Structure 1
Amino acid sequence: MPAVRTVLVVGGGLAGAAAAIPLAGHGVAVDLVELKPDIASAGSGITLQGNALRELRKLGVWEAVRERGYGFDSLGLRAPDGTLLAEFPDARTGGPDLPAALGMSRPDLARILHERAAAAGVKVCFGRTVTAVDQDGGVTFSDGSTGRYDLVVGADGVRSAVRRLLGVEAAPRPTGMGIWRAFGPRPSSVTRTEICYSGPSYIAGFCPTGENSLYAYLVEDAQDRSGLSPSGRLATMRELASAYHGPWDDIRATLTDPARVNYTWFETHVVPAPWHRGRVVLVGDAAHSCPPTLAQGGAQALEDAAVLTELLLAADTLDEDVWAAFTARRHARAAAVVDASVQLGQWLLDREPGDVPGLMARIAALVTQPA
């Protein structure tokens, strides 16, 4: 019998859905609350490395993900003028039978996971969250109702309300970089992730997210862009993109819709071990966040959920042995990925060459081993 019979998952993103699905599939009564009215209504694209695909396969959604996404096995490096400087095989961290990486639309991924959750028996409530949480599993919801669960999973993102309600002081800090993202049609010249590390932006890159879609991004010094109108944001991204050529010329021609452009800052944090307080545990971005320089944020959220649910389903009681095992398997690994992601960005900020290939190889070797 699982260590828990009733579970509340707060947050319907990657970590939350991935925790809910296997628990419900093994007979645990799972309620999932999500503050947004529709988790699949917004977002641009996401790059999923092989270790993320490995976890999605365990959740039973790999075929749907493969159908909706765009897989590839190599990485390209370009100069601002579009010259292809290098191309090399990307590490297949999920194993030889999965792509090295796959890009897809975030809304499509959210929709696939929530359909799987519903099929597993998860009870999902949108437009609802928690306003109080105690360490014994008692909660008060935003509609005034209350409940008590064997376990509360705080998977409510980088601005986690559960983390705040628990009194955990660790909070994200900006790293000094800001990123422009745009989601649009995929020109035939884009068949994998390609990156440029020079020119007016620290990083100019793109990733195919489907047969007919991609997301493109430009990384600059973090600055207050809140005063820009939607048309101003579009104009700014187009201006930055004008320094890049090759496939960027094709991409820039499609940058016409202000609604498909957004700007955010890179942030980072790692909650010190342990990530639980009594019968409440933090996972995913609630527990750790990293800039997307290594494209491991989604993978680490999925790994958190996989390890947590594996331990809960294998144990008879929710005791310190479960929490010790969870900490041992997740804290150092996630922290290493976060540190490496921040380090790569810091080398760019400091304009230091750094050992980027060595750093990427070290993290690839780490995450190739199952969590």
Structure 2
Amino acid sequence: MHPLSVQSVLVVGGGLAGSAAATFLARAGVQVDLVEASGRGHAIGSGITLQGNALRVLRDLGVWERVAARAWGFDTLGIRATDEAGTLLVEIPDNRTGGPDLPAAVGMQRLVLAAILHEAAEAAGAKLRFGAQVNGFEVGPDDVEVTFGDGARLRYDVVIGADGVRSATRRALGIDCEPQPTGMGIWRAVCARPASITRTDLYYGGPGYIAGYCPTGADSMYAYIVEDARERSGLSKPEQLEVMRGLAAGYHGPWDEVRALLTDPEAINYTRFDHHVIDGPWNRGRVVLIGDAAHVCPPTLAQGGAQALEDAAVLAELLTTEPVGEALWKRFTQRRLPRAKAVVDASVQLGRWMVDHDPDADVPGLMGRIAALVTTPA
């Protein structure tokens, strides 16, 4: 470790970005505390699709074998028609953005991934506290004094805000960059995996803009339908189930099996697509933001988790090899901002093309450019 590099770090938030950063740093010998407001065993969302560049970071974290044992990998993407048969139109070899020795993508349950990452952080030596929160902090020239919810005060060389899309750390820093709606909303459901579903297939059009599904393990999957953003908060869980089942009736082929499995109101979730990216340094002094706190993209490219993991890897590398100062923060911004912004902009553009029914949309070209970008390690 560099003699002037960071010795103690507080990570705020135990999602993908925070857990990965804690693991990398603790493994390098840094004293790491991680606080997560939710309890252990809580994860936002149901399933997650991780592209190859995310898997590359998970391999560097030393958890790829555990992930592979619990996830479902696939190397092709199917495009199906919205006809009565759900006809398979084309099977596309997916880009192996993590390299030839990793799948193009995997699906897995978010709770399973969270547990693997939390255990990896603790095994590396990080101290994790669940159901804990930060009440405030004072940024000094050489450290950050943090006040916790229980009244304790501790000093750290660096604080990493990985506390999600509605980041309290971002607001406390005075960074005015709140998520903006894209005009789309998404229905998600978790259910058992029919044997016929072994990868993601996408249906463009029909009752929604996109309908798709992703296996998340041998016995599980999640399905989703993207529509115009609507006010759905007043619906009861049974009403939500009926709305999603009604939309699902417009899709066939494997969707006929999926719809028959949509019986649990508690397995249905509806959220709106948001986006934002801090278009400038992600730090204010010795407090730095990563993951959804710094950038959020709609899931049209399935790159949100990958970009969060890349943030953690790059930041940990810099914090353990260079002295903390303006040169480090400038280098972090140079390595992460253009890449994350390109992914966010492309994800938003895909959605805008669909909303506008743009006849000149070059979806394959855009997806190819982003795949080429993220194939190169961050």
TM-score bin (small chain): over 0.9
Give the conservation status (yes or no) of the 8 Å contact 2:189–2:267: yes
Aligned to 2:313: 306
Aligned to 1:33: 35
Q: For residue 176 of structure 1, give the secondary structure of its aligned residue in structure 2.
A: strand
How far apart, CA to CA, are the structure 1 residues paired with 2:358 and 2:280? 32
How far apart are residue 39 of structure 1 and its match? 4.4
How far apart are residue 47 of structure 1 and its match? 0.2
Q: Once the two structures are superposed, what CA deviation does each residue of 1:241-272 show, in whole Å capped at 9, x if it has no partner?
A: 00000000011111111111100000000012
Aligned residue runs from structure 1 range 1-371, under 5 A: 1-2=1-2, 3-40=5-42, 43-81=45-83, 82-136=86-140, 137-315=144-322, 317-353=323-359, 354-371=361-378
How far apart are residue 42 of structure 1 and its match? 5.3
What amino acid is the match of 2:229? Answer: A
Q: For residue 339 of structure 1, give the secondary structure of its aligned residue in structure 2.
A: helix
Give the conservation status (yes or no) of the 8 Å contact 1:288–1:338: yes
Mean CA deviation greater in 135-144 or 180-189: 135-144
Identity of aligned residues (%): 65
Give the conservation status (yes or no) of the 8 Å contact 2:184–2:229: yes
How far apart, CA to CA, are the structure 1 residues paired with 2:60 and 2:263? 39
What amino acid is the match of 1:177? Answer: M
- TM-score, with length taken from structure 2: 0.96
Q: Per the alignment, do residues 41 and 368 of structure 1 end up closer, same or farther by CA in structure 2, a change over 3 Å counting?
A: closer
Structure 2: gaps (5+ residues): none
How far apart are residue 189 of structure 1 and its match? 1.2
Mean CA deviation greater in 295-304 or 251-260: 251-260
How far apart, CA to CA, are the structure 1 residues paired with 2:282 and 2:44? 28
Q: Give the paired residue count.
A: 370
How far apart, CA to CA, are the structure 1 residues paired with 2:241 and 2:327? 52
How far apart, CA to CA, are the structure 2 residues paired with 1:100 and 1:138? 43
Q: Once the two structures are superposed, what CA deviation does each residue of 1:6-31 show, in whole Å capped at 9, x if it has no partner?
A: 10000000000010001111111100
How far apart, CA to CA, are the structure 1 residues paired with 2:137 and 2:58? 30
How far apart, CA to CA, are the structure 2 residues paired with 1:39 and 1:140? 25
Give the conservation status (yes or no) of the 8 Å contact 1:130–1:141: yes
Q: For residue 292 of structure 2, give the secondary structure of its aligned residue in structure 1.
A: helix
Give the conservation status (yes or no) of the 8 Å contact 1:172–1:269: yes
Q: Once the two structures are superposed, what CA deviation does each residue of 1:193-246 show, in whole Å capped at 9, x if it has no partner?
A: 110111010010000111111010000111110110011111111010000000
Structure 1: gaps (5+ residues): none
How far apart, CA to CA, are the structure 2 residues paired with 1:91 and 1:226? 37
- TM-score, with length taken from structure 1: 0.98
How far apart are residue 43 of structure 1 and its match? 2.8
Mean CA deviation greater in 32-41 or 178-187: 32-41
What amino acid is the match of 1:99? Answer: P
Give the conservation status (yes or no) of the 8 Å contact 1:92–1:99: yes
Q: For residue 320 of structure 2, give the secondary structure of its aligned residue in structure 1.
A: helix
Give the conservation status (yes or no) of the 8 Å contact 1:40–1:111: no
Give the conservation status (yes or no) of the 8 Å contact 1:77–1:84: yes
How far apart, CA to CA, are the structure 2 residues paired with 1:246 and 1:297? 29
Q: For residue 258 of structure 2, give the secondary structure of its aligned residue in structure 1.
A: helix
How far apart, CA to CA, are the structure 1 residues paired with 2:49 and 2:61? 18
How far apart are residue 146 of structure 1 and its match? 1.6
Give the conservation status (yes or no) of the 8 Å contact 2:43–2:114: no
How far apart, CA to CA, are the structure 2 residues paired with 1:199 and 1:146? 55
Q: For residue 184 of structure 2, give the secondary structure of its aligned residue in structure 1.
A: strand
Report runs of 4+ in structure 1 exceeding 4 Å deviation: none
